Amino acid sequence: MKNLISVLILSLILLIPAAAHAEHAVGFAAGSTRGMGATYRSLPDPGDTSPWGWQVTGLPFITTDEGTVSAGAGLLYLLHRGKKAMAYASLGIGALVTWNNCSDDDEFCEDESHWGLGAGPGLGFELRVMDNVAWSVEIPLAVMFADNKFYGLYPVPNSSLVFYW
């Protein structure tokens, strides 16, 4: 699993120099291999010959005694791009961490923490709803782990709503 994370991070670092000639987007995303929350996506310009893009997603919710953090990253490979839609393959990873640290005066509370991880390949499509607004749906084949246990292989979908510029 550490090798997969290392490959994704290295891939994103290598793609950053190409970001100057890219189509950028911000919005919201949720899914098993995408994480949940605010998202940033970078795709090659329509005239570019590179088929590679990437997307990162994250959302922290942290209070004094508890918290939830969701994060994800995906490497996108464009299979076909038209004026109003595109098809792509992806390799992504999404994670969720939650914790609860009880205060001394709460006798019914139990200190606990949980984590989950989903990683795997997927196929998706994106529709340009308007010139700068797009909605994407992707079906990954996610290998799921939670709290040090293998939970299975699930096709839990990812979805994003983004604004391009």
HSE at residue 124, side-chain half, CA atoms within 13 A, is: 29
Distance CA 77, CA 118 (A): 19
pLDDT at 157: 94
- Strand 35-44 relative to strand 133-140: parallel, antiparallel, unpaired? unpaired
Helical (H) or strand (E) element with 14: helix 2-15
Token digits of residue 42: 């970078």
Task: Mention every residue, 6+ apart, whose C-beta is less than 8 A from residue 90.
Answer: 33, 74, 75, 76, 77, 121, 122, 123, 124, 138, 140
Indicate which CATH number applies to the domain containing 62: 2.40.160.20
Domains held by the chain: number: 1
pLDDT at residue 43, rounded to an integer: 93
pTM of the complete model: 0.81
Would you state the pLDDT for residue 15?
53
For residue 13 the two structure tokens come to: 């670092």
**Structural domain that includes position 104:** 2-164
Kindly give the confidence (pLDDT) of every residue in the chain, 165 residues in length, as a single tens digit, with 9 standing for 90 and above: 556 556 556 665 555 554 456 799 999 999 999 999 999 999 998 888 899 999 999 999 998 888 999 999 999 999 999 989 999 999 999 999 999 887 767 677 777 899 999 999 999 999 999 989 999 999 999 999 999 999 999 999 999 999 998
User: Which pLDDT score, from 0 to 100, does residue 151 have?
Assistant: 92
